[in-house]
Chains A and B, each alone.
Chain A
Amino acid sequence: MNDPVDVLIIGSGASGAAVAWSLADTRMRILCLEQGDWPDSARYPSTGRDFETRQFEDYAISPNRRGLAADYPVNDDDTPIKIANFNGVGGGTVLYAGHFPRLHPSDFRVRSLDGVAEDWPIDYRTLEPFYALNDRMMGVASLAGDPAYPPKDSVVPPLPIGRTGELMGGAMNTLGWHWWPSDSAITSREYEGRAPCINLGHCGHGCAQGAKASTDITYWQEALRNRVELRTRCRVSRIETNDDRMATGAWYFDANGEEVFQPAEIVVMACNGIGTPRILLNSASERFPDGLANSSGQVGRNLMFHPYALARGRFDEPLEGFRGSRVFMWSMEFYETDPARGFLRGYCYQFTRGYGPVVTAVNGMADGVVPWGEGHHDAYRKLFDRQAGLVSICEDLPEEINRVTLDPRLKDGNGIPAPKITYRLGENTLKMLDHSLARGIDVLKAAGARDIVTRSPLPYAGWHLLGTARMGTDPKRSVVNEWGRAHDVRNLFVVDGSVFVTSGGVNPTSTIQAIALYVADQIKARLHDLFD
């Protein structure tokens, strides 16, 4: 058995890093267990001539495709949206694109405003200081004054919108739509020792420049200096409890495959919306027969993804192609509910540049705009460096039937049951996807695009893993309380995307980290009676 620690954090990604950093100033003994290893930026795809090939190998977004020692398999046969993640220090932030919108104030009040789902037990104002702190820690590039949000400060200037942004922005101006340069977790100038973005164009497969804010190079560097211990290649299988219904620590498999018990006074789950319910469900015991912290039956339920629709076209002039950050501009025109659209809630658009030489060919053939044989070269050259488009990020409403369970057969390399995903698209979501495609085509046409192709929903886009241990004041309807503590286990906290009550229609990392900082702050403020 290892020496006990005060705080055991499971997972070192977006939320685990933030909570570790914040709690470090308590001088408690803090340990984080991470199933993967430290990323090696020298191996990121953009460092090699084969950069596009390597995107589909060790830095592929699907854990099932990567199949590395750090990865656990996910049974995603029963969902049209497949799981994307990264297992290693930094977690999903190593491979995310860095699109960094906040939730909007209305996202926390969906029941009150729109009569759907449930309100959050916290609101935008509660999280606002933590959003701002997180923006500073991550070095977020943005332009102050976005009319889609309450006022917020800019940390570093926005990333360039380039010619692609001019075309799209001009088109939206003719339509009278909102658009704005995206808040991006990519620094546009030297910031806290990080080098500025040099437009490598491969943010989504690891940033070799270190301009993109993955938590291995942001929070973790400071947390380690503040004596937090991070132990890699340690995969947690289950949380142990005692007769007082308190967590006593966690069992994990170390790098040698040995099962070890780590005692702890406080356990913090930061394993994302699939990894967290997986461990809680696998921690079922005589005391907690349905899984840990699951008296409500809500652990693993209400899984939300953000279904994406994509529209892309080709233009008559050369654009940036694969050069430049993947994220640079958004539109919130259809974010707030308008019942006349036939669905409730809304979505944002994230605009996209073109692709590298290989992906242009692969997509072009898949979309039927680049033929085999005669005509291949002509069609390809019309496409290469002349493409741009958008994706819509649609709000996914919580439904109990969309869930994570333990697969009865599939196991990881340590014999721990793999998660099984059961998910279907709701009626509201389907209408929203259709609407976003139709309006997306409108803007592309207004920008002068030809040969517009669409995909909906995008199958390999299950990045945003939300809702499976949701926050609430009613222990019968939620897993954790309004400050992240499990209703059933008074020294167990959840800080990742699992706690989302609703998904909003934006990328969630900014909010995940703001919640992690908020929960850490609550822990610090309540230390004297934390377990009452």
Chain B
Amino acid sequence: MTSSTETAAGMEDVAGPVLSPAQSACLRLLAGMMIPASADYGVPGADDAVIFADMATTIGRDREALSRTLDSVEEAAGGRLADLERTDRAALVDRLRARDPGAFAVVEAVVSRAYYRDDRVLKSLGVEARPPFPKGYAVGQGDWSLLDPVRARGPIYRDAG
């Protein structure tokens, strides 16, 4: 799954730098705050090293918007989000999310796209770790007799020619 690397220079994918080191560190913090590890479900957090490395490949066309949001978070934190105490960090992020949910929707999309395709996470959800094609899936026909009352009601359209 992973075609990206996290380097000292920041987050990169095969096409080159995606995020600066500061942006990368901020995104990893936010990812861990958004989706923490769970012992109950046996899943890593979204700041897990493998998942985070994969995240570079999920940024795609969101890079500009994501960078803007990460920069604004760092600025609101007075420099580095990582330098804030845990409770202050959570309070700040809650405030920023409430103020601009659209900007944080991009962060949520980038993080979710990497997290919810990780083999460990999918296994915990009972989802086969495979693409839909070519095997496809089974879907039951459903109970067609449920249509009987609809038929019994008769035509409902206006016959306008």
Contact = CB atoms under 8 A, between A and B. Distances in A.
B117 A357 contact: yes
A118 to B, nearest CB: 14
Contact of B157 (A150, A366, A373): A150
B70 to A, nearest CB: 16
A323 B130 CA distance: 13
A434 interface: no
Contacts of A377: 35, 38, 40-41, 43
Interface residues of B, number: 60
A52 B122 CA distance: 13
B49 interface: no
A113 B117 contact: no
B159 interface: yes
Interface stretch (B8-16, B18-26, B73-81, B143-151): B143-151
B133 to A, nearest CB: 4
A49 B157 contact: no
Contact of B117 (A52, A108, A200): A52
Nearest to A112: B160
Contacts of B143: 166, 169
A135 interface: no
Interface in B107-137: 108-109, 112-113, 115-117, 121-122, 125, 127, 129-137
Is chain A's interface secondary structure helix, strand, loop, or mixed overall? loop
Contact of B136 (A124, A162, A209, A361): A209
B56 to A, nearest CB: 12
Nearest to A110: B160
Interface in A197-225: 198-202, 208-209
Contact of A202 (B132, B140, B157, B161): B132
A336 B156 contact: yes
Contacts of B129: 49
Contacts of B105: 362, 365-366
Contacts of B38: 377
Interface string B29-51: 00001111010110100000000
B133 A376 contact: no
B61 A65 contact: yes
A147 B58 contact: no
B161 A145 contact: no
Interface in A142-167: 143, 145, 147-150, 160-163, 165-166
A227 interface: no
Interface stretch (A2-10, A172-180, A464-472): A172-180
Contacts of B138: 199, 323
B131 A178 contact: no
Contacts of A178: 150, 153, 156
Contacts, number: 195
A169 B101 CA distance: 35
Given A163-B140, A178-B156, A376-B35, A362 B132 contact: no
Contact of A358 (B117, B144, B147): B117
B99 to A, nearest CB: 15
Contact of B142 (A46, A50, A165, A374): A165
B91 interface: no
A332 B158 CA distance: 12
A373 B161 contact: no
A324 B38 CA distance: 30
Contacts of A163: 140, 142
Contacts of B62: 56
Contact of B125 (A44, A335, A376, A384): A384
Interface in A363-378: 365-366, 372-374, 376-377
A333 B150 CA distance: 11
Contact of A51 (B121, B131, B156): B131
A473 interface: no
A104 interface: yes
Contacts of A46: 131-133
Contact of A160 (B132, B135, B139, B151): B139
Nearest to A173: B149
Interface in B60-103: 60-62, 90, 93, 97, 101
Given A49-B1, A147-B155, 16 more contacts: A49-B130, A52-B113, A113-B158, A147-B151, A147-B154, A160-B139, A169-B147, A173-B150, A178-B156, A179-B150, A200-B137, A324-B137, A358-B113, A361-B116, A373-B90, A377-B40
19 contacts: A49-B117, A49-B130, A50-B117, A57-B61, A109-B161, A112-B160, A123-B161, A124-B161, A162-B139, A179-B147, A198-B137, A320-B137, A324-B137, A335-B156, A358-B117, A361-B115, A373-B90, A376-B36, A384-B125
**Would you list the 4 A-B pairs with minimal beta carbon distance, nearest first?**
A198-B136, A161-B142, A323-B137, A357-B116
